[in-house]
Amino acid sequence: MATTDKASTRDRLLDAAGELFYREGVSIGVEALCRTAGVSKRSMYQLFTSKDEVLAASLARQLPAYEAQLAPDTQDAAPPRERILRVFERLEKASAEPAYQGCPYLAALVELKDPEHPASAVARGAKEWMKGFFRARAEEGGARDPELLARQLMLVFDGASARSGARVETLDGLAVATVTALLDAGGVKHGVK
């Protein structure tokens, strides 16, 4: 029974952390986190050594869902160009949601400003996964320089998510049009599988 209680407490903490850190930022206090999760600080510290560890675990826990949301089927038979464009179509759709505040991994990196922070390592890993996804699809699609194109796509993704998350810009096809131009310029072919 104690294992179930700990798992439940851990889940509540990570759920609350994911929600609060995304909505309020990483500076949210331990008291607010524990209050939202409905757990005591003592219980939190029995499971995690610090709020930093909670943040890192929360980001790591969200990563599979985040990856599945952006690139849901790793066995997708669609051409590489189309798979890249779908990521940006999904970004545009997500950015139109009222609760959208940008990429949670980019936000963590920007807010923390500490490359040694445990959550920074998780966030960098998420960004490296995405860059790797773009690079692999660019290579499959015949891009002249897949690494450069992947870096350019990351700039568009992060810039679009930051600007739309801050409500400075509505994407309305802007990200897809920008990426289409990059794919054309980079030599990614239509219909290549």
Domain with 39 in it: 1-48
Q: Which two tokens stand for residue 77?
A: 């038979």
- Assign 78 a pLDDT band (cuts: 50, 70, 90): confident
Task: Please report, to the nearest 10 degrees, the dihedral formed by the alpha carbons of residues 102, 108, 111, 114 taken in order.
Answer: -150
42 and 80 part of one domain: no
| Confidence at residue 192, expressed as pLDDT on a 0 to 100 scale | 65
Over residues 142-154, the mean pLDDT reads 98
Q: For 95-104, what is each residue's pLDDT tens digit?
A: 999 999 999 9
- Between CA 25 and CA 3 the distance in angstroms is 30
Q: Which two tokens stand for residue 170?
A: 């509505």
- CATH number for the domain spanning 148: value is 1.10.357.10
73 and 30 part of one domain: no
| Confidence at residue 1, expressed as pLDDT on a 0 to 100 scale | 40
Measured CA distances, 1 to 7, 11, 137 (Å): 10, 15, 47
* Percentage, residues of the chain above pLDDT 90: 82
Q: For 25-70, what is each residue's pLDDT tens digit?
A: 988 999 999 999 999 999 999 999 999 999 999 999 999 988 888 8
166 and 111 part of one domain: yes
Over residues 106-115, the mean pLDDT reads 92
Total domains in the chain come to 2
- Between CA 48 and CA 65 the distance in angstroms is 23
Q: Which residue type, as a one-letter code, is found at position 114?
A: D
39 and 65 part of one domain: no
Does 157 reside within a domain?
yes
20 and 80 part of one domain: no
| Confidence at residue 2, expressed as pLDDT on a 0 to 100 scale | 46
